[in-house]
Structure 1
Amino acid sequence: MGLILTNMLLVLVMCFITSVLTVNENFLKMFENQQTPVDPCYNEDRPRRCMPDFENAAFGVPVKASSTCGLHSQMQYCEAPEPGATPQCHICDDRQPKYRFPANHLTDLNNPNNVTCWRSEPLPPVTSMNAPPDNVTLVLTLGKKYELTYVSLQFCPYTPKPDSIAIFKSMDYGKTWQPFQFYSSQCRRVYGRPNRATITKTNEQEARCTDAHRYTGGENLGFGQSSRIAFSTLEGRPSALDFDTSAVLQDWVTATDIKVVFNRLHMPIEDVSDNLDSILVDEHFHSKHLDEDNQTREPSVQLVNEMAVENDEKGNPKVSVVNSEMSTNGIMNAYHQVTHQYAVADFAVGGRCKCNGHASHCVADRDGKLTCECKHNTAGRDCERCKPFHFDRPWGRATAKDANECKACECNQHARKCRFNMELYKLSGRVSGGVCLKCRHYTAGRHCHYCREGYYRDPTKQITHRKACKPCDCHPIGASGKTCNQATGQCPCKDGVIGITCNRCAKGYQQSRSHIAPCIKIPVVQMMATEEDSDDYTGEDPDSSAAGDQCGKCKAATKRLNLNKYCKRDYAIMARVMSRIDGEEDEHTKGWVRFMINVDVIYKKASISRLRKGPMHMMVPVSDLACKCPKIKAGKSYLFLGREKDDSPGGMASSSLGVTQRSIVIEWKDEWDQRMRRFRRRARKCK
């Protein structure tokens, strides 16, 4: 029996494991079939313009109203359900949900079958243009910059359209306000502006005023139905078709807050009494009829003269009005029976969250503030700047042609900060304008691309390596300075001192105890005079002329230079002796000393010559150098004149410049430059 139970238990366990594996397999397949959501800000890997969805930015956003019916105490309002009908009166009381007309009804769900309204407190009828304006204000705070397409107000049924309305916008969260649009039957009288002024490219940010009878954006839908105004922000603006390139219009449609000020519900009675029939049409009390001859008929006189208060079927107080026939004066009294108040069912603002083409969504940040989810290496609530270290090109709004993605600065991984320089950007052909700041790892330059003073490049490492620059490490006694050659690391050595760091004495020198001259020349025991050199080149072996380390007298003529000597030499250069290079000798360089020089100026060279500006090697016979013929010191500049035929080991095939005691070597002075240039101009006279 126990064995049977054990087998049944094993079967159940296996079934359970099989079912779990099947579920897991299906679960994994479900994720495999899911595709990575497409980022609208990129086309594959290429950036492109992207924008948040168009929306009603006012939906669900609280509105501040300067006046709300029944907010502080119970009030009564009256309205006519149809033309010529007896006005019906009701109450508004914020303490009772059924009779509340709060400002949040302006931005709730606009359901035509269940219209919710905001109502202002009743207003006294205006009988004179000198009376102060109504000035009931609605303020909508969007919480972020939006680019608006329209502002719309839908009025409640059975209520008149206000005669004069002013719409303002703010771009700084309510600190300052700018006129956006005006509506009035008397634009110049109320707002001091012409009716339907023409907008040109010179005044595209100017608010217009539109006649009150034409601002609905369409005709009234009929008595008892809502009327609407709709202000289009770009309508009539000449640059609307070039919106991407119009900074003026981009600024014009940008807003963080919208303020609507109702200035007049009606024009004063004294100003419209001559046109009473028109008023009665607007208030739905009277209809004017014209006969075939366009003659005005007598107005109907079924109007109000008495009010009564009674309870409705549910026991709520209701104020009714008794009708009777009245004269024209009675008509005016009936005009006052309908409550003067503003009533709006829907306040809509259409637009997009402003992200300058660099984001497709706006989300709430940690502080609850609406912020763009920036792409293209941009930053800010509106993606209005490049994010840190991406300043190689200027920030720009994304367009259909160019996403204007911000580019990272090129600092070879040696800097964390950079700045933008417009002059450099223009000089680069509008390619790169970033300048690296606070280069690390001993680098310097706009891109941290070379070593700073006192350091030199390690040729074994890439410039991006954190140890690409090594310290010069010049010997404190043997070197004449702490700054070495940034390419080779060669320190400037004192006379008689050699080595990359100037840490040993050259051949023919011995160490002294002086910090000023750490290496002194070994005294020559035997001196023997030889014949003076002439300007004629004999081509004799330099080793044989100084055999036995016997020094003759250096010819004094080398200190004197004339056009004849200039003409007899193959080359004339000014070069700086960088350092002496000691190393193993081969069969060609035996008996010669190698120097590294930098050729700064070439005054003369043969048509077929190996001379080039820049660093090159120079060879000097050991015997000539020991006799200081020529006398050469590292770190100094000299004027060299000589022949290239046989003056170096290997002759013309050699890549080194040969200098012997037959060459003219003069320590350089600045005044030599003019003389050499003069010789070069007169060189055509050479024989």
Structure 2
Amino acid sequence: MRGIGRGLGVLLLLQLALASDPCYDAAQRPRYCLPEPADLAAGRPIRASATCGRPPQRVCSFRHPGDPSSRQCRLCDGVDPAAAHPAAYLTDAGGEATCWQSGPGANASLTLALGGRFELLYVALRFCSPRPHSMALYKSTDHGHSWTPLQFFSARCPRVYGLPPASAVAKATEHEALCTAAQTDPTPLVGGLVAFMPLAGRPSARVFENSPVLQDWVTATDLRVAFDRRHRALGLRDREASYGVSDLQVGGRCRCHGHAARCGAAGPGGAPQCQCRHNTAGPECETCRAFYCDRPWQRGTPSDAHECVACECHGHSHRCRFNLELYKLSGRKSGGVCLNCRHHTAGRHCHYCQPGFKRDLSRPITSRRACKACQCHPIGAIGTMCNQTTGQCQCKMGVTGLTCNRCAQGFQQSRTAHIPCIRCPVWYPRTPLCALPPGTECRTHCNPSHGRVHMNLRKYCKKDYVLRAQLLAMVESGEWWKFTASVLAGYRQG
């Protein structure tokens, strides 16, 4: 009973796992799926262009969000862990309890390598200093080789970044960075937040899965935050003021194109690997699996998972390729072309027999023996090809039979392979044999003997046929006599 109970438990867990598969419904039909969002910055190293404490220096900040008189100054020492403010504090588990300080200076930047290609959902910075007067957010899609602006924040956009302040995103410019004065006020003096959502306000965000422009817009491998100007007149001297950020969060998910619900172990180079479903493959499920290319690859959408479909090769091939023209001609239903058909099959779907073979209609097309050799006669047939359905070989003139193995009526066998059957000099329709003019038959073959025939070896070898027959009856028919004979034995043929 314990074994049965354990088996039922395993079966139940398996059924629950199948039922909870986010990429398939309870009937195992494919459906749209996405990986769970995660904080892409958590625990990852960040490179800062400037960090206080080397050499030790005095930095000041505020203790109260709304009280400028709550200024406090401390010594930042990079050697002393209790007095250091490294960039690692931006993504550690300490949250607002730990803080990175840039140290005195007009500009500073933070660079985060995400470790792969991700789709960004939001970027948020919690400050332990007054928020910057001007800052910019950039992304890279080629691991830091080039950078594209995502958003500019400034109280004076035209003067600092040469852009007009914008509050609405136009359809034609939804893939371009805007400049906004929002979230640039210095208050609160501590704990202020700057957040950016790449899809917020974008006209095509509601149809994101059908917008390649926005899909590229939110894709990134690296992020950079550039602090370009501080607020002045806050009671802090330039040599004591610094940028301070207590927490950096980057919300995003693996880029799996709607074909995976989980990101597995890191792939080549440490990049995350999507656990692809819907018969897709690749680090980002960006292509179809081998042999599953009967339709073109497409990104999954909430209305259609666009599952990759296997080619129809009837079990005679394990390789195929996609042909766009055939796909269009089929009404966008099938574009797969099977490669290297086996078992003597041929065709786009390995659905008919190759030349020299015919269909064995007693077996299904999926059988390894669905095609069998035509067996066309090497002399009587024009070639080795035969009709796929009937098996009829293509015969030479005067030759007949399924395999072209005998002369047709009105023809007799010749002595040349080029023209194996020649027309009879005289032919009677009711007789399947050729007939020679009266009185010439026997003279062309032999001299009849009126007595007993003695066959020696010399005569035997010169004859085409040597038979032993018994005459049973003889009937006169005009100038001819009709004999009925029974062949008792055949000694030589051909």
Same fold (TM over 0.5): yes
In the TM superposition, residue 440 of structure 1 has moved relative to its aligned partner by: 2.4
In 1: Cα distance, 2:303 partner to 2:167 partner: 34
Which letter does structure 2 place at the counterpart of 1:69?
C
TM-score, normalised on structure 2?
A: 0.79
Q: What is the aligned partner in structure 2 of residue 660 from structure 1?
A: none
Alignment of 1:151-170 (within 5 A): 151-156=123-128, 159-170=129-140
SS of 2:172's partner is coil
In 1: Cα distance, 2:123 partner to 2:218 partner: 11
2:244 aligned with 1:343, yes or no? yes
2:87 aligned with 1:117, yes or no? no
Q: In structure 2, do the counterparts of structure 1 residues 549 and 33 end up closer, same or farther at CA, with 3 Å as the change threshold? A: closer
Alignment of 1:343-382 (within 5 A): 343-365=244-266, 367=268, 368-382=270-284
SS of 2:171's partner is coil
In the TM superposition, residue 32 of structure 1 has moved relative to its aligned partner by: 6.2
In the TM superposition, residue 25 of structure 1 has moved relative to its aligned partner by: 7.9
Which letter does structure 2 place at the counterpart of 1:40?
P
In the TM superposition, residue 431 of structure 1 has moved relative to its aligned partner by: 1.8
Q: Is the contact between residue 78 and residue 338 of structure 1 (CA under 8 Å) also seen in structure 2? A: no
Give per-residue Cα distances to partners, 1:546-565, cap 9 Å, x unaligned. 9x9899xxxxxxxxxxxxxx
Alignment match of 2:112 (pick from 114, 136, 140): 140
In 2: Cα distance, 1:145 partner to 1:50 partner: 18
Which letter does structure 1 place at the counterpart of 2:261?
S
2:64 aligned with 1:96, yes or no? no
In 2: Cα distance, 1:383 partner to 1:344 partner: 36
Alignment match of 1:467 (pick from 366, 369, 380): 369
2:211 aligned with 1:246, yes or no? yes
Which letter does structure 2 place at the counterpart of 1:434?
G
Q: Is the contact between residue 163 and residue 264 of structure 1 (CA under 8 Å) also seen in structure 2? A: yes
In the TM superposition, residue 247 of structure 1 has moved relative to its aligned partner by: 2.2
Q: In structure 2, do the counterparts of structure 1 residues 364 and 200 end up closer, same or farther at CA, with 3 Å as the change threshold? A: same
Q: In structure 2, do the counterparts of structure 1 residues 160 and 354 end up closer, same or farther at CA, with 3 Å as the change threshold? A: same
Which letter does structure 1 place at the counterpart of 2:23?
C
Q: What is the aligned partner in structure 2 of residue 39 from structure 1?
A: 21
Q: What is the aligned partner in structure 2 of residue 614 from structure 1?
A: none
Q: In structure 2, do the counterparts of structure 1 residues 449 and 508 end up closer, same or farther at CA, with 3 Å as the change threshold? A: same
Give per-residue Cα distances to partners, 1:501-551, cap 9 Å, x unaligned. 3233345544333121123344439x9xxxxxxxxxxxxxx979x9x9899
Q: What is the aligned partner in structure 2 of residue 311 from structure 1?
A: none
In 1: Cα distance, 2:393 partner to 2:136 partner: 79
Q: What is the aligned partner in structure 2 of residue 572 from structure 1?
A: none
Q: What is the aligned partner in structure 1 of residue 196 from structure 2?
A: 231
RMSD over aligned Cα, in angstroms?
3.0
In 1: Cα distance, 2:272 partner to 2:386 partner: 56
Q: Is the contact between residue 80 and residue 338 of structure 1 (CA under 8 Å) also seen in structure 2? A: no
Give per-residue Cα distances to partners, 1:22-53, cap 9 Å, x unaligned. 7x787667656645321011112111111111
SS of 1:481's partner is strand
Give per-residue Cα distances to partners, 1:477-507, cap 9 Å, x unaligned. 2222232222222222222323333233345
Alignment match of 1:200 (pick from 170, 177, 197): 170
In the TM superposition, residue 220 of structure 1 has moved relative to its aligned partner by: 7.1
Q: In structure 2, do the counterparts of structure 1 residues 391 and 472 end up closer, same or farther at CA, with 3 Å as the change threshold? A: same
Alignment match of 2:145 (pick from 172, 175, 181): 175
2:416 aligned with 1:514, yes or no? yes
Alignment of 1:416-435 (within 5 A): 416-435=318-337
2:159 aligned with 1:189, yes or no? yes
SS of 2:237's partner is helix
Alignment match of 1:265 (pick from 220, 230, 238): 230
In 1: Cα distance, 2:255 partner to 2:177 partner: 21
Q: In structure 2, do the counterparts of structure 1 residues 375 and 199 end up closer, same or farther at CA, with 3 Å as the change threshold? A: same
Structure 2 unmatched ranges of 5 or more: 438-494
In 2: Cα distance, 1:87 partner to 1:48 partner: 56
In 1: Cα distance, 2:279 partner to 2:337 partner: 18
SS of 1:239's partner is helix
Q: What is the aligned partner in structure 1 of residue 50 from structure 2?
A: 67
In 1: Cα distance, 2:293 partner to 2:42 partner: 38
Q: What is the aligned partner in structure 1 of residue 183 from structure 2?
A: 215
Q: In structure 2, do the counterparts of structure 1 residues 422 and 26 end up closer, same or farther at CA, with 3 Å as the change threshold? A: closer
Give per-residue Cα distances to partners, 1:247-275, cap 9 Å, x unaligned. 22222122222111122224xxxxxxxxx
Q: In structure 2, do the counterparts of structure 1 residues 456 and 25 end up closer, same or farther at CA, with 3 Å as the change threshold? A: closer
In 2: Cα distance, 1:414 partner to 1:33 partner: 37
Give per-residue Cα distances to partners, 1:284-303, cap 9 Å, x unaligned. x3xxxxxxxxxxxxxxxxxx
Q: Is the contact between residue 90 and residue 99 of structure 2 (CA under 8 Å) also seen in structure 1? A: yes
Instruction: Name the larger-Rg structure.
Output: 1
Q: In structure 2, do the counterparts of structure 1 residues 502 and 229 end up closer, same or farther at CA, with 3 Å as the change threshold? A: same
2:354 aligned with 1:384, yes or no? no
In 1: Cα distance, 2:81 partner to 2:355 partner: 80
Alignment match of 2:379 (pick from 477, 482, 496): 477
Alignment of 1:661-676 (within 5 A): none
In 1: Cα distance, 2:146 partner to 2:286 partner: 21
Higher relative contact order, structure no. (Cα contacts within 8 Å, ≥ 6 residues apart): 2
More strand as a share of residues:
2
In the TM superposition, residue 209 of structure 1 has moved relative to its aligned partner by: 0.5
In the TM superposition, residue 65 of structure 1 has moved relative to its aligned partner by: 1.6
In 2: Cα distance, 1:204 partner to 1:94 partner: 43
Q: What is the aligned partner in structure 1 of residue 459 from structure 2?
A: none
Alignment match of 1:490 (pick from 368, 371, 392): 392
In the TM superposition, residue 402 of structure 1 has moved relative to its aligned partner by: 1.1
In 2: Cα distance, 1:340 partner to 1:385 partner: 51
Q: Is the contact between residue 362 and residue 373 of structure 1 (CA under 8 Å) also seen in structure 2? A: yes
In 1: Cα distance, 2:169 partner to 2:8 partner: 61
SS of 2:402's partner is coil
Give per-residue Cα distances to partners, 1:589-635, cap 9 Å, x unaligned. xxxxxxxxxxxxxxxxxxxxxxxxxxxxxxxxxxxxxxxxxxxxxxx
Which letter does structure 2 place at the counterpart of 1:59?
A
Q: In structure 2, do the counterparts of structure 1 residues 508 and 84 end up closer, same or farther at CA, with 3 Å as the change threshold? A: closer
Q: Is the contact between residue 164 and residue 184 of structure 1 (CA under 8 Å) also seen in structure 2? A: yes
Q: Is the contact between residue 426 and residue 435 of structure 2 (CA under 8 Å) also seen in structure 1? A: no
More helix as a share of residues:
1
In 2: Cα distance, 1:85 partner to 1:391 partner: 69
In 2: Cα distance, 1:512 partner to 1:245 partner: 75
**Larger CA deviation: 27-36 vs 366-375:** 27-36
Q: Is the contact between residue 163 and residue 265 of structure 1 (CA under 8 Å) also seen in structure 2? A: yes
In the TM superposition, residue 168 of structure 1 has moved relative to its aligned partner by: 1.0
SS of 1:97's partner is coil
Q: In structure 2, do the counterparts of structure 1 residues 495 and 262 end up closer, same or farther at CA, with 3 Å as the change threshold? A: same
In 2: Cα distance, 1:86 partner to 1:508 partner: 123
SS of 2:220's partner is strand
Q: Is the contact between residue 425 and residue 435 of structure 2 (CA under 8 Å) also seen in structure 1? A: no
In 2: Cα distance, 1:513 partner to 1:356 partner: 73
In 1: Cα distance, 2:25 partner to 2:37 partner: 21
